[in-house]
Amino acid sequence: MNCWIEGSADTDFSIYNIPFGIFSAEGYSKRIGIAIGDQIMDLKVAAILGIFDEMNLSVTLWEEDTLNKFISLGKKVTSRVRWIIQKELSDDNSILRTSDQLLIPMADAQMHMPVHVGDYTDFYSSIEHATNLGKMFRDPDNALLPNWRHLPVGYHGRASSIVVSGTDIHRPKGQTKPPEGNPVFGPTKRLDFELEMGFIVGKNTNLGDSIPVNDAEDYIFGMVIFNDWSARDIQKWEYVPLGPFLGKSFASSISPWVVTLDALDSYRVPSPKQEPTVLPYLQYNGDRNFDIALEVSITPEGGNENVVSRSNFKYMYWNMSQQLAHHTVNGCNVNVGDMMASGTISGKDENSYGSMLEIASAGKNPLTLDDGSTRVFINDGDTVTMRASSIKDGHRVGFGEVTGKVLPAK
């Protein structure tokens, strides 16, 4: 497919992508757009030009300030909308070219939370990450707990503090326990990122129903990059016996464009082999993992961007279909807009670790940045940026980035 928007083929937002998001700009209230090259297409303008007329959609649909209602229409509608946009963008005589209101440069727009997230769950599905942490905190010879290879471990997170890329994060405060003496209160000394991907639920289920693993992708609308900010010292003291709490709930950042599973279909790859064999409700057909290259960088205040990790979503031991099948196997219902994060995505070698805890070996092995400063965790003034993209046969589908700057504790 050729696209009449110049330069778009070499960006994350090529015609093969068409991700959906919520934007605003001068003269534009919040509304739905798609990303193409370095531009945003206003879908309300596209609808008024008539390209979706066959679908009988109300023009007001495109003025929604989240994607929830659009996603609720189902994949028959959302996939068709994406297909029509691709057809028009590859047609040199498209009616879209007659409007000077259709496209807004990304540089002139502000992005917002793409969905209202009702519930958020965080998994722990990278075997490399779980092994690294198990070695550090428990037993170097027996790093994985007995349940890990039998089910995708997860916990219920906090939806209210999920924020869109570009939102500043204040260093959280909390209770920590020095090696000697009583617990103390103050700003975390071990603020970390976690490199994750999140998927957004695209279809409701009823209480009591379970999603079969081979149907799970019908319930997944698309994906975003997910930075699960973590305060390691708070986490370490509080997590026994019920798991993560305030060390996680202060903030998570997501990228603003939701890349559909349709767009990712060409980048499917097999998952790592699961040993021992999993229970039947977790056994799936086909390739359900995706080759998505990931990158994390740290930019100190006034300094340069330093890439500190390169990983890949394809390393995930448990795939999204298994996560969703497991999540609902007890009859727990899910809703459109629910966010399910993968867990930190680490690769095998130290250049592919998905958290500072692993990169700097829990403080033992400081990382040196190009300005000569060192990091064991994230400093005030640092900006953490994550990027994700897939390339195959010269076609690029990417997520753009999620960034967040760390401000001093309030």
Q: Is position 262 an interface residue for Ca ion (rule: CB under 5 A)?
A: no
Distance in Å, CB of 238 to Ca ion, minimum: 15
Looking at beta carbons only, is 42 or 192 nearer to Ca ion?
192
In the set 129, 170, 327, 395, the catalytic residue is: 129
Span from 188-196, 252-260, 286-294, 311-319 in contact with Ca ion (CB under 5 A): 188-196
Q: Is position 12 an interface residue for Ca ion (rule: CB under 5 A)?
A: no
Span from 54-62, 122-130, 251-259, 382-390 in contact with Ca ion (CB under 5 A): 122-130
170 is a catalytic site residue: no
Q: Is position 358 an interface residue for Ca ion (rule: CB under 5 A)?
A: no
Per CB under 5 A, the list member of 42, 192, 194, 233 interacting with Ca ion is 194
Which tokens is 37 given?
A: 């090259």
Cα(first)–Cα(last) distance of the chain, in Å?
A: 50
Looking at beta carbons only, is 210 or 309 nearer to Ca ion?
309
Looking at beta carbons only, is 81 or 169 nearer to Ca ion?
169
Beta bridge partners of 42: 33
Q: Is position 228 an interface residue for Ca ion (rule: CB under 5 A)?
A: yes
Distance in Å, CB of 27 to Ca ion, minimum: 39
Distance in Å, CB of 355 to Ca ion, minimum: 9
Q: Is position 122 an interface residue for Ca ion (rule: CB under 5 A)?
A: yes
Beta bridge partners of 110: 24
Span from 10-18, 226-234, 256-264, 352-360 in contact with Ca ion (CB under 5 A): 226-234
- Per the listing, tokens 């890329």 go with 165
Tell me which residue of 403, 364, 410 sits closest to 387, measured CA to CA. 403
Distance in Å, CB of 79 to Ca ion, minimum: 30
Tell me which residues touch Ca ion (CB under 5 A): 122, 194, 228
Q: Which amino acids are annotated catalytic?
A: 129
